[in-house]
Amino acid sequence: MPRTPTPARRALVAVPLTCALLVPLVACNDKDTGRAANATTTPTSVTTPTSAGTPSPTGEVETQRLAKTRFVANASLAAGAAYQWIVKPYRAGKFQKGADGRKFALVKAGLAGGFTYNRLKAARDNAKGDPLLSKAVAPLSEGIESLKGLGTKLAAGTAGVADIGMFENVIGGVKDAGKDAGAEVTEKVPSAGEMAKGGAPADLFARVPAQQPSRQHEARPNGSAPSEN
């Protein structure tokens, strides 16, 4: 005679069956939850296309600004040296034979001549960094090159009015070019030491008098002043 299942046996059979049905559902839910989390937390990267080798507008502006700044610095030193140590003493007659302080004036003029030429060349190169300034300075290249070697003539006392005029004309042209391009040049006077470091001809250093310039006119023990040809 068959036995009728008791309520306890029915409960024991139902528990494993229920677990068997729930396990796949939990696994599926876990997988879906993981996919949703990945989709939510993983950012989407956006790549902006760039043109390789194309300079930025900011970089171009900075390059032009530096070009003008360096041009003004070099041209201003050249203008100051030419006027203070070449044009001004020449007009005052300091280069004439027999003039008081002539030797030292010629030495400084020689240094200034070489210094002016080198600073103007540097200014011309600086101008190439700015299109407008480069265009304004380009016609002055020949005039700048005409100053080469005049430092030696000045130091030797053989420079004439035409040579002095060349310095004035070139400096004037550089000032005008800078002003037209928004890079105004002013005169900044360098010291003799600065000029010596700025590219003066090597043989000029041998011409510097042994005594210091500030002592040239000091009274000697016998009361006489030092003579200078």
pTM for the complete prediction?
0.63
pLDDT score recorded for residue 61:
86
Q: How many CB atoms lie within 10 A of CB 91?
A: 11
Q: How many CB atoms lie within 10 A of CB 189?
A: 16
pLDDT score recorded for residue 46:
44
Q: What would the pLDDT profile of 46-94 be if each residue is shown by its tens digit?
A: 444 444 455 556 788 888 999 999 999 999 999 999 999 999 999 999 9
pLDDT score recorded for residue 83:
97
pLDDT score recorded for residue 58:
75
Please name the residue ranges forming H helices in 47-191.
Answer: 57-82, 88-91, 102-127, 131-137, 141-145, 150-156, 161-180
pLDDT score recorded for residue 150:
95
Spell out the domains of the chain, with CATH numbers in brackets.
Answer: 60-192 (1.20.120)
Low-confidence ranges of the chain (pLDDT < 70): 1-57, 198-229
pLDDT score recorded for residue 53:
52
CB of 127 closer than 8 Å to CB of 133 = yes
Q: Considering only CA atoms, which of 153, 174, 175 is closest in space to residue 164?
A: 153
